[in-house]
Amino acid sequence: MALTAALCSHLLAWVAFGLLVFAPFYQGESVTATPAEAVPSQPVQTTATLIEINGWGVIPIVLAPVVISGAGLLGVIFAGPGLVWRRAPLGLATLLLLGFCVAGAFSIGMFYLPAALAMAVSAAVGLIQRRVSAVNP
């Protein structure tokens, strides 16, 4: 179950990355000035992606949560169930993703909130599995 939640978190981070990079993020309207005797021009609607407005330097910032969720997923895959080494990457990835969401709350942080919550579920399930395996050897 922890693996499923971590995989879901990673996929949600990729979805947020795709939306932020490829979907039109900004909208605008432009009107050209015309002489008083001419017919007024119609406004032109324009859209732009995050990269078109902010440049390619935004890619590492938008890709950071994908890398963090991937590290949490790799921690679940390579550590066996019930081991303490499984909890450390999950807990750290959860804290980093939630921190990213808080730091970017007024811009792109909320796009990664579903991934952070799925990672928190994975960490909670990993903790529960650890306790169950300790009680029932």
Going from N- to C-terminal start, the domains of the chain cover 2-24+51-135
Give the C-alpha separation, 97 to 92, whole Å: 9
* Stretch (H or E) spanning 44: strand 44-48
Which DSSP symbol is given to 23? S
Residue 103 confidence (pLDDT): 92
The string of pLDDT tens digits covering residues 31-80 is 776 666 566 667 788 888 888 888 999 999 999 999 999 998 888 888 76
The model carries a pTM of 0.78
Which DSSP symbol is given to 73? H
The string of pLDDT tens digits covering residues 102-137 is 999 888 889 999 999 999 998 888 777 665 555 555
Q: Which amino acid is at 44?
A: V
CA-closest candidate to residue 13, choices 95, 96, 70, 58: 70
CA-closest candidate to residue 51, choices 81, 87, 26: 26
State the pairing for strand pair 44-48/26-30.
Answer: antiparallel
- pLDDT tier for residue 25 given thresholds of 50, 70 and 90: confident
